[in-house]
């Protein structure tokens, strides 16, 4: 019940996720990641530990918020969420493939 309240979800949704009947929604994973440091890769792909203590070693910690984007800036949360999603290999591939398509489309227009 407490988990359902924290996630603003119906209790049945939580029960279904716990049984493996449904996959957790990305907004729930994101909340659990930010609140408790839950490793989304562990949940989705059984990779790494259950919790994240540090950003991945290949992430430049000084660049995490992006150049010129500071906490409090309206785009900070969106940018930070995007970086979190990029840590999930399946989502990273989709985003990079989409960017590659966009780049090719823009080249054709020129």
- Report DSSP letters for 71-95, one per residue: TTSTTHHHHHHHHHHTTSHHHHHHH
10 & 39 share domain: yes
Full-model pTM? 0.46
Closest to 85 measured CA to CA, from 96, 69, 75, 71: 96
User: Is there a contact between 37 and 52 (Cβ–Cβ < 8 Å)?
Assistant: yes
Q: Are both 67 and 48 inside the same structural domain?
A: no
Residues 49 and 92 in one domain: no
Q: How many domains does the chain have?
A: 2
2 and 48 in a single domain? The answer is yes
Do 104 and 67 fall into the same domain? Answer: yes
Q: pLDDT above 70 covers what percent of the chain?
A: 82
Instruction: Report the C-alpha gap between 37 and 81 in whole angstroms.
Output: 14
Query: Could you list the residue range(s) of the whole structural domain that residue 71 is in?
Result: 60-110
Q: Count H helices, E strands: the chain? A: 6, 0
Separation of alpha carbons 17 and 6, rounded Å:
15
Q: What is the dihedral of CA 54, 80, 44, 41, to 10 degrees?
A: -20
List per-residue pLDDT tens for the chain, 110 residues long.
Answer: 677 777 788 888 888 888 888 888 888 888 887 777 788 888 878 888 888 876 554 444 554 444 456 677 777 777 777 777 777 777 777 887 888 888 888 888 76
Q: Of the candidates 34, 53, 72, which is a domain's last residue? A: 53
What does the chain come to in residues?
110
Residues 68 and 33 in one domain: no
């Amino acid at each position: 019940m407490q988990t359902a309240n924290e996630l603003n979800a119906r209790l049945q949704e939580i029960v279904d996720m716990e049984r493996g009947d449904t996959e957790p929604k990305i907004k729930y994973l994101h909340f659990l990641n930010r609140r408790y440091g839950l490793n989304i890769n562990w949940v989705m792909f059984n990779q790494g530990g259950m919790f994240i203590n540090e950003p991945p070693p290949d992430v430049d910690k000084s660049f995490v918020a992006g150049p010129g984007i500071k906490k409090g800036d309206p785009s900070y949360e969106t940018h930070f969420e995007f970086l979190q999603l990029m840590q999930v290999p399946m989502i990273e591939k989709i985003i990079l493939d989409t960017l590659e398509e966009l780049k090719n489309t823009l080249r054709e227009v020129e």
